[in-house]
Structure 1
Amino acid sequence: MKYFLLFSILFLSFLNANENKEVLLIHSYHKGYAWTDDISKAIENNFSKHENIELTTVYMDTKRIDDKSYLENLSKLYKEQFYNRKFDLIIISDNNAFDFIKDYYEDLFKGIPILFCGLNDYTKERLNSLPFKDVSGVAEAVDIENNFELISKLHPNIQNLLIINDKSITGLAVKKDLVKIMEKYKERFSIEYTDNLEINDLKQKVSNLEKGKSAILFVLLFKDTTGKYFTHKQSFEQVRKVSEVPIYGLWDFYLNSGMVGGLLTSAVAQGQTVSNMAIEVLNGKDIKDIPVLEKSPNLYIFNYDELKRFNLNISKYIENPIIINEPSSIYKEHKNFFIITILTISLLSIIVVILKANIKRRERLERELSNRIEFDKVLLDTIPNAIYYKNINGNFLGCNSAFASLVSSTKEEVIGKTAFDFFPENIAIQNIKIDKEVLKTFTTISSEFTFYTPSKDMKHIILNKAAYKNIDGTIGGIVCIMDDMTERTQQRQFLIQQTKLAEMGDMISAIAHQWNEPLVELSALVQDIQTSYLLNELKNSDVENFVNDSMIQIKYMSRTLNDFRNFLKPSTKKVLFSISKAFNEINEIIGKQVFYSNINMNFNYKNTNEELLIYGYENEFKQVLLNIINNAKNKIVEKNIPFNKKAKIDINIQRCENCNMIEIIDDAGSIDEKIINSIFEPYFTTKENGMGLGLYMAKIIIEDKMKGTISVRNNGNCAIFSIKLPFKEL
């Protein structure tokens, strides 16, 4: 008997699985409308893989007629048409079909589950207002802001954006979102919105748009102000015919009519997604267990012909876009081969060019050296610094070999040229200003700049300029001696990073302290959830709380790693940054380690109602703070202070007249007066395995790089490190 019952259940399940399923697809619009046809085609293609699904499709045609009496007559027609039909599922496409089902569900389709797609203005409240609950589907939402951002990136010189729309239900829904985005972007370019023009007036406006400075966002246009109806192709193609500027859109059915593209709402994606949901329902899944896809499955799609027409390169902004009408090419088929070949040829060409240039340079030098006067040979060519001299008009009169090598020219080629021939425009302009000051004051002036040589080497140069006089007393021009600081600057940056790496051990220890508590908490959570499970007391809410509490601890641990990673990155340029933010991040890194060392670390902000800023290199500044605080902590730990008596590190922050001052005070004992004046010297250390670079690099960072001052003094049993830094560029 037991086996008979089992066989019966399996047999009935088999029959049910092979039973034909009937699906009714109700479209809001008409056959021939590209959006509707694409949804239908996607659903039909997906259903074609399942022989037991029978699809019936009807079209409400509400683009052409949608008054109340028509909808009532349509409901009577469907009632009579489907009187003897039993549907397993109904799919509705777009808003009008959704509203129709809402009004006539009880009379026509009571008890049948509903799936929707292409629904604009989706909200949970709208779904909850339905007279039935067996419903799910796919929302349709155009992504206006990302399309605005795409247009602004592809057309950085854009001045005008014309938005074309109509007053259909969809058009008005889009307009609500457009208003917010237009307000946000009105400062970037002029935005003109129109939905009340006759087609000829609209064409005239489009034809007057300035090429290269304008673009169009085409939303919808099925009716103009005269009530004239257009298909999607007719309206778009009339606008495209007179437009000399690129046209972007929000829906994919305009692509083959001449639209550039954008982040488009795809009818195909809507149809594929809702049909996948339908197959799940037809296979027995409860529709209530299928969540509504609230984020519209939009895609970046572009028309190759229009991209080529306007010479647009989207690869810099969009990864893996869909491009239609793109011709296949031999290059794409053999891309790797072409790349390797080109790189090989380029490399060989560069080697040949370099070898050839070296040979020519040696030949020229040999000829020139034989005729060089003793003055140039001894005085100029043996000096490693680049030297040049020029007249009061800025034309070079001569130079030494070092300068010619720096600008990859010969001394003969330099003569008669100006700074604009060898340096970037901004550097050349800066030099002209300095030249004028030198000629005016007749004093020696120093300046510095960084530039890239023709061979792409970065050079950091210090210039020392002075004017010289002719024998008759007139000003002959300017002599300049250039000091190449590149290697010294790079070595200094290397030492900063080396010092930072030397402190990694302390930081890793700090992270271990920071991770201790969340690891203990996670362990407790796991044990708690295990106990609940074993006692059969585990609830959904317990699992959710477990996940939430665990994620809090995991995110905290992840944040400590981010702090560590950010600390290791060298700052590339000077910026204004917050002192309190820097200290907060330092406290995140070593705060718990200091606390577990039985030390109170106090941050005392004297200017309580003011955010104090520093102009400089943020990560290097934090490195200085970390070094000094770590030194203080280590000195306190070495003293073996009793556990019932806490040591302290006080950090005072306040604004002075032209700077912000930071004092770091510890009570680990005063510094020996014999060495206090030597602690900032390189390689000076009192630690057995110390490198002697920490405080030296602190002085370099604060005084050389950030134009501040750092000093130390004793006050009784306390050592006080004082840092003063400017809050603006000097």
Structure 2
Amino acid sequence: MKKLLFFLTLFVLCYAHPLCAKEDKKILIINSYHKGFQWSDDVLKGMEDVFYDHPEITINILYMDSKRINSKEYYEKLRELYKLQLKNQKHDLIVAVDKFAYDFLIEYYHELFTDEPILFTGLEQFDVKQIHAKGLDDRIYGVMEKRAIGETIPLMAKMIPHLKKITIINDASANGDDSEPFIREAMQEFHDRLEIEYIRESTLEELEHRFATPKKEEAIFYIRFYNDRYGNLYKNNQIANMIHKSALPVFITDTLFIGKGAFGGKLVPIQRLGMKTGEMIVNVLENKIHPLHVETFDEYWYQFDLQKIKQFDIYPNPTVPEFELINAPETFFDRHRKLIDAVFLISPFLFFLILGLFHNIYMRIRSEKELRAVELQKNKHQQFIIQQSKLAEIGEVFSSIAHQWKNPLVEIATIAQDHFYSCLNENDEKNNQFVHDIMVQVRYMTDTINSFQAFIMPSTTKTVFDVNDAIETMLKIINHTIKYNYIDVKVDISHATNLMVLGYKNEFMQTLLNIVNNSKDQIIQQREEKKIKRGMIAIVVYNHAQKVIIEICDNAGGIPEEKLPHLFDAYFTTKKQGHGIGLYMSKLIIEDKMGGKISASNKNDGACFIITLGNVT
């Protein structure tokens, strides 16, 4: 009995004492993409599900953002950043999520790490020679992702007996390059039975237009399409919207877009891929597997969207023996199962539940009233900010107009003097000419003040206006201010085909004036400091994807990088006597009132503002 008590005590003390617990493990995860990219987020979620049962594992995640920025220069900068971040840090395992992170680690491993093992996940291609060349044979593990490309085309042919054409969509990314051999192999196998078109470069707008017409003998096989031919990165909701709008059934290879517009197919469950990766990570940390252990994840789910099955009249059965239906309608019992169970379990408390519901409704109504009041106050505040900014610019504009008046007034005085001294000796025709000259100058003064009054009048309703006309009007008003400060302004609309937009023209001109005046002030400062000889402001207007893009760039040295994120904040200014509401007002006008977008960056030797507005066709 004493021995039993001794061993029980020893057991409790051992497992309660930190020295007997599992040793802490540190994992560094380098994610190829940005936070919010659904594929990698699902992989990480699967890993975390496994790590939940392993509290000894601590993870640190670095995001490379390789979908939005992918260049050798960027990776070299990233290497330098990681050198600083990882200096004097030691990890038990480095995990690379997808191809970009893996290639980055292999390329710069010996600069960033010492002897830490690497485990990759999500790759479709793996080259042992590359590992051997870098001397990393003794520290590589991995989980390969295999898409069912070769199996999906015959599946489509069986489910659609009258199928004659398949369009395969795969973007021109590095991931797309890895999938291409499997796509080419499948195309070769079925080229004599089906017409197969392969698309790697396009835009979502083009694809939406192309697949807007129903064709019963055609279908789409979607692999991926995150980057278009211009390098733009699409979000998952934009891709899902394109897939949902398609008048052709869209077969897919993983679970990202099932239930979001895709018809379905033989799918890689992305979160399960993450769980498989998490299980291998645990095995590596516990030394249960040896280096160069690479597994292929070949688990698939057959899933189909019931709504799309009804839309296209295509049924998986009996082609697929076991499958899951997504978006299947629930029965009344399924929809209200919890409520029905609750009725039997908590019927004595129904009275209090009803009171609680009434109270909840009351609080919701009250909350909505408060939200409406806050929203109303917000709108008033925005209008106040806009009017404040207009008043702040009036002095600047009025100074320009006063300068414009000086020349005509001097001219009028000269003409009047000439007329006075010569009227006795000249005929009526000469007198008439003098009168005519005087009236021309007076009319010029009248037109100037009218333009000024029209400019400062707030717009009351949205109208369709020409962006180029607004730019020219704004430049006429400040022409002398620009001219006598030795600034060249160039407007280029040579690549524009449609410059009509819907919005508030005067407020839009105020936005342009804010930006141009900021450039002018910075140019004057740069010239006073002998950094430039002559100022330059370039305004380029062009169309892209049914949008009007206005770029306003200068040569005034740019904006400090640390101030760029706050440039459009209220009351933030880079000037000693600035009021800090000009650019904030500009953002409110462009984004809140006109539904567009405004951003700023440094480009070449100055600042560059980009305004994007929707076209009116």
What is the TM-score of this pair, normalised by structure 1?
A: 0.42
> Rg larger in 1 or in 2?
1
Identify which of structures 1 and 2 has the higher relative contact order when contacts are C-alpha pairs closer than 8 Å and 6+ apart: 2
What is the TM-score of this pair, normalised by structure 2?
A: 0.49
